[in-house]
Amino acid sequence: MSKVKKYLSLVKFSHTIFAMPFAMIGFFLGTIQTNRSQIIGLNWSTQTWDSWQVLSLKFFLVLVCMVTARSAAMAFNRYLDRSFDAKNPRTAIREIPKGIISPNSALRFVILSATIFVLAAFCINPICFFLSPVALFVILFYSFTKRFTALCHLVLGLGLSLAPIGAYLAVTGHFNLLPVLFSLAVIFWVSGFDIIYALQDIDFDQSQNLYSIPSLLGIKNALKVSELLHLLSAAAVITAGYYGEFHWLYWLGILVFCGMLIYQHAIVKPNDLSKVNIAFMTANGIASVVFGALVILDLYL
């Protein structure tokens, strides 16, 4: 159990709270929009299976994909950034710099997680399997981006935005505009709060020639960019609400989601970054979980 805790800490498992609710939105949206008799089958015979059994197994496989993909991405980021993390006082306590987990062990964990992800995608349906290398490339490529572009925050957002589309594909086997709108919301939302999080390392990034919006534009302008991205995220979920013809629970979810966006910008100021972690974890955790729960309730009620 001690070893498990070390790896859960390595990948910041608690941060799964950000993308998981949007994956659930994509999954349950797919179940609503697809006739149960038309649900894309698994890669083995399901002729004797009830459609609910197929859906239950798919739900489990989607969870496996979410956890393993994110674990591979986070562990790879920790592996690749280990030299920078050791130099940065804020990150020097992480598992690899402190010697709690060796770099080679972290890399083996990345390979194992990526392998399980691909195998789970194979078990879901062909399109998820064929797209799994693309998803892996995006989420692993993010770890390189801070070395050459300040748009790294958008790449992170893109990686997490695959959750609702991927979960929808797991059920239906085809693309649809509505989960794409939710994915756009995730791109802008995650990019915006990652900029806020990166404010903590602005001096370190500049000293190490690492790229980020804060290190490029400064704190004040970075917060303005974050505000713009969060406005775009709000616009995406509002558009999805009208396009999907949702009801009052969905709009209540939007009030909470947008309220948390406003709240984090209200407590993080250019001259006061003491509440960055509250904005990052608490506000965005509430936004994601409450919004996701209300959207799913709206779909079924």
For residue 122, give both structure tokens: 């194979």
What integer pLDDT is reported at residue 50 of this predicted model? 58
Q: Which residue has the tokens 């059920």?
A: 171
Integer Cα distance of 293 and 121 in angstroms: 25
Domain 2-300 has CATH 3.40.30.10: no
Domain boundaries defined on the chain? 2-300
Integer Cα distance of 275 and 277 in angstroms: 5
Successive 10-residue mean pLDDT values, the chain, 301 residues: 84 86 95 61 47 85 96 96 96 94 96 98 96 97 97 97 96 94 98 97 96 97 98 98 96 97 96 90 93 95 85
What integer pLDDT is reported at residue 37 of this predicted model? 42
Displacement of CA 168 from its chain's centroid (Å): 15
What integer pLDDT is reported at residue 1 of this predicted model? 63
Nearest of 100, 105, 113, 33 to residue 73 by alpha carbon: 113
Integer Cα distance of 295 and 250 in angstroms: 5
What integer pLDDT is reported at residue 17 of this predicted model? 84
Strand partners, 17: none
Integer Cα distance of 167 and 23 in angstroms: 6
Integer Cα distance of 101 and 93 in angstroms: 12
For residue 246, give both structure tokens: 């949702």
What integer pLDDT is reported at residue 52 of this predicted model? 77
Give CA angle at 14 (9, 19), nearest 5°.
130
Integer Cα distance of 197 and 186 in angstroms: 16
Which region holds residue 114: left if phi is over 0, alpha if psi is between -120 and 50, else beta? alpha
The CA distances from residue 167 to 28, 74, 254, in Å, are 8, 20, 21
For residue 46, give both structure tokens: 């399901």
Sign of CA dihedral 29, 31, 33, 34: positive
Integer Cα distance of 170 and 113 in angstroms: 19
Strand partners, 272: 269
In contact, 121 and 113? CB cutoff 8 Å: no
Q: Is 0.85 surpassed by the pTM of this model?
A: yes
